[in-house]
């Protein structure tokens, strides 16, 4: 399987609560074999262990072949180690000796299992980057619908990596069901993320994470209040045009830059005015935010063609999505002044 191919996403990711959220965008029943990767309710912890986290990652010495040696002779690289899978022996990353990998079972599954109760379950889990990244999300069974007609699912996203791409992170986020967009909970707030570096001194106290994140139940209240405020913030057409000018200036000179800028403006306007994922909130700050968020997650071309699922998770975990959403609102406030 190629990395993050349709076959990979239908076998190495698990999607829960489909009775509430529907199937994932990458769903292909013909690629799932004898066992579907979609669950009508919560994903059982044992299934995540059995189907995804069924291997360990161990330290291994690193060697290099001495140039010109025949027969080949190898020299150990001091101060370096490889992180190697227990089942296939594949190296997921090479690091200094002080780097500490965080195993998927203890750091993701065991930790989040302590948060599960009758009102919380595993909503999704998966492996990416050839198993070098992993995530688990904790969600409430039912969707939340606001008076403004927004249906969302608050969840706690837990993720880590063995290739150095992600710190071990626990973060509050939301999924808007109508478009499968991810939106940070509590824009501009600083208590939404709990991160641990990959060092030998790293350790997690669940009580610390609970206090830092306020876990999932409080998220629904925070998000509903945020949505109400954004939906009540009226945006006239002229304000939308000024916002477009500020966010997407068009170069005076003809060329690729001007073509790209005009195309982006057209695509954003089409989303804002007529796309069903955005149009119900046209004329409000919620509609403006939703247009940019939808563009970023579903329309924009990714760097080096990175798969959408990787782009979205990395942007959310690293705070890029949050920063871009906040910028959209900051610019909107500036053009409205």
User: Going by C-beta distance under 8 Å and a sequence separation of 6 or more, which residues neighbour residue 77?
Assistant: 61, 62, 63, 64
Lowest mean pLDDT among 34-43, 56-65, 294-303: 294-303
- Joined together, the tokens standing for residue 190 give 């600083």
Q: Residue 58: pLDDT band by 50, 70, 90 thresholds?
A: very high
For the chain, the straight-line distance linking the first and the last C-alpha, in angstroms and rounded, comes to 53
Q: Is 229 or 193 the better-scoring residue by pLDDT?
A: 229
Q: Residue 187: pLDDT band by 50, 70, 90 thresholds?
A: very low
Mean pLDDT in residue range 223-241: 92
Alpha carbon of 154 to those of 168, 182, 194, 201: distances in Å? Answer: 20, 10, 16, 31
| Tens digits of residue pLDDT in 73-129 | 999 999 999 999 999 999 999 999 989 889 999 888 887 777 666 677 899 999 988
CA atoms of 98 and 195, how far apart (whole Å): 18
| Tens digits of residue pLDDT in 277-317 | 999 999 999 999 999 988 987 887 665 555 666 767 677 76
What is the pLDDT at residue 205? 56
pLDDT above 50 for 2: no
What residues are paired with 4 via a beta bridge?
none
What is the pLDDT at residue 190? 45
> Under a CB-based contact definition with an 8 Å cutoff, are residues 185 and 223 in contact?
yes
What pTM value is reported for the model? Answer: 0.77
């Amino acid at each position: 399987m190629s990395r993050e191919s349709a076959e990979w996403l239908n076998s190495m990711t698990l999607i829960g609560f489909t009775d509430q959220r529907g199937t994932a965008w990458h769903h292909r029943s013909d690629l799932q074999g004898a066992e579907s990767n979609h669950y009508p309710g919560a994903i059982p912890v044992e299934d995540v262990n059995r189907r995804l986290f069924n291997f360990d990652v161990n330290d291994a010495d690193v060697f290099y072949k001495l140039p010109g040696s025949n027969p080949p002779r190898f020299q150990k690289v001091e101060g370096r180690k490889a992180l190697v899978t227990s089942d296939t022996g594949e190296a997921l990353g090479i690091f200094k000796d002080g780097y500490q990998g965080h195993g998927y079972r203890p750091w993701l599954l065991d930790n989040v299992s302590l948060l599960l109760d009758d009102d919380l379950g595993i909503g999704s889990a998966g492996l990416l980057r050839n198993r070098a990244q992993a995530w688990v999300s904790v969600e409430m069974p039912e969707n939340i619908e606001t008076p403004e007609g927004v249906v969302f699912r608050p969840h706690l996203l837990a993720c880590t990596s063995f290739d150095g791409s992600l710190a071990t992170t626990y973060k509050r986020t939301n999924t808007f069901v109508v478009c499968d967009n991810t939106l940070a909970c509590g824009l501009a707030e600083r208590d939404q993320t709990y991160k641990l570096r990959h060092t030998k001194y790293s350790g997690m106290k669940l009580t610390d994470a609970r206090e830092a994140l306020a876990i999932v139940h409080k998220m629904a209240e925070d998000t509903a209040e945020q949505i109400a405020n954004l939906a009540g913030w009226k945006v006239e057409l002229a304000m939308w045009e000024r916002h477009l000018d500020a966010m997407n200036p068009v170069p005076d000179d003809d060329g690729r830059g001007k073509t790209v800028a005009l195309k982006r403006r057209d695509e954003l306007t089409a989303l804002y005015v007529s796309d069903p994922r955005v149009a119900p909130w046209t004329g409000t700050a919620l509609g403006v935010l939703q247009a940019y968020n939808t563009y970023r997650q579903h329309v924009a071309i990714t760097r080096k063609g990175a798969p959408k699922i990787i782009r979205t998770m990395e942007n959310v975990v690293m705070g890029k999505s949050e920063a871009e959403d906040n910028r959209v609102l900051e610019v909107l406030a500036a053009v409205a002044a």
